[in-house]
Amino acid sequence: MTAEELKSGYIFLLDKPLDWTSFQAVNKMKYKLKREFDLPKKFKIGHAGTLDPRATGLLIVCCGKFTKKIPEIQDAPKEYWTEIKIGVQTESYDTEKPEILQQDIAHITEEQVKEALEKFVGEIEQKPPVYSAIKIDGERAYNLARAGEEVEMKSRKTTIHYINDITIDFPLISFTVGCSKGTYIRSLAHDIGQELGVGAYLTQLRRTKIGDYKIEDATDQFLSNDFRFLANEK
Q: Which among 184, 229, 200 has a CA at the least distance from the CA of 52?
A: 184
Strand 56-63 vs strand 200-210: parallel, antiparallel, or unpaired? parallel
Q: Quick one: how far is CA 58 from the chain centroid?
A: 8
| DSSP per-residue codes, 117-142 | HHTTSEEEEEPPPSSSS-EETTEEHH
52 is catalytic: yes
Q: State the catalytic residue, choosing from 52, 75, 169, 226.
A: 52
Residue 116 vs residues 40, 57, 120, 193, 234: alpha-carbon distances, Å: 52, 26, 7, 9, 59
Rounded to 5 degrees, what are φ and ψ at 225? -65, -30
Catalytic residue numbers, as ranges: 52
